[in-house]
A and B are shown apart, each in its own frame.
Chain A
Amino acid sequence: NAGVMQNPRHLVRRRGQEARLRCSPMKGHSHVYWYRQLPEEGLKFMVYLQKENIIDESGMPKERFSAEFPKEGPSILRIQQVVRGDSAAYFCASSPPATWAVQETQYFGPGTRLLVL
């Protein structure tokens, strides 16, 4: 059973370009979470999605950032018109359908390291 997969692992963009980060959850997992780790900072929650639904986007910047998890295919985190401050590691995590009101844990992917020049 493959773990959470993210691609690309490294992404370089110039200011003003778009960045697309992909996350394929573990097999059988229908919940996806995106976190951002800025240099010298801890991981910060961005968004929680289920298939075709955004459940919680309280950590997403209001502008330029969007996320989706379509019925088919990976989850996509999209950053439009990137700026240098977007340079960070972006981690995706997944969890299986809840058997309780709250999921037990999340399984993390290797991350995508975005560098904005």
Chain B
Amino acid sequence: KQEVTQIPAALSVPEGENLVLNCSFTDSAIYNLQWFRQDPGKGLTSLLLIQSSQREQTSGRLNASLDKSSGRSTLYIAASQPGDSATYLCAVRPVTGNQFYFGTGTSLTVIP
């Protein structure tokens, strides 16, 4: 059964810093991996989707990498802003099956 772990559980950084969020998964037979953002009391917003054949995806200040063989993904946020404060969720889609497996998230606080 797929297990997804996110480290750290919480992170607090001053505005302007670059930061890395980590995600690891136990079964490398994945179809894709997706990073989401969740604001308190809100739903999930998709940030980046990486197919299993890809190594990375970029969108603005965000860059996500995928190393399927080692079961790891990172989300890099450049020049962090207070508006980036949220919980970041990593989710993997297995090759077989219809669901996403989610990590418990990293709660990010960017201090002005």
Contact = CB atoms under 8 A, between A and B. Distances in A.
A42 B99 contact: no
Interface string A9-52: 00000000000000000000000010100001111110010000
Contacts of B31: 102
B100 A44 contact: no
A91 B102 contact: no
Which 3 A/B pairs are nearest by Cβ-Cβ distance? A45-B99, A110-B43, A108-B44
Contacts, number: 55
A43 B100 CA distance: 9
Interface of B: 4, 31-32, 34, 36, 41-46, 49, 89, 91, 93, 95, 97-105
A45 to B, nearest CB: 4
Interface of A: 4, 33, 35, 40-45, 48, 55-56, 59, 91, 102-111, 113
B89 A42 contact: yes
A107 B99 CA distance: 12
B43 A42 contact: no
A44 B44 CA distance: 14
A48 B97 CA distance: 10
A107 B46 contact: yes
Given A105-B49, A111-B43, 13 more contacts: A33-B98, A42-B89, A43-B89, A44-B102, A45-B99, A56-B99, A102-B95, A105-B34, A108-B36, A109-B43, A110-B43, A111-B42, A113-B41
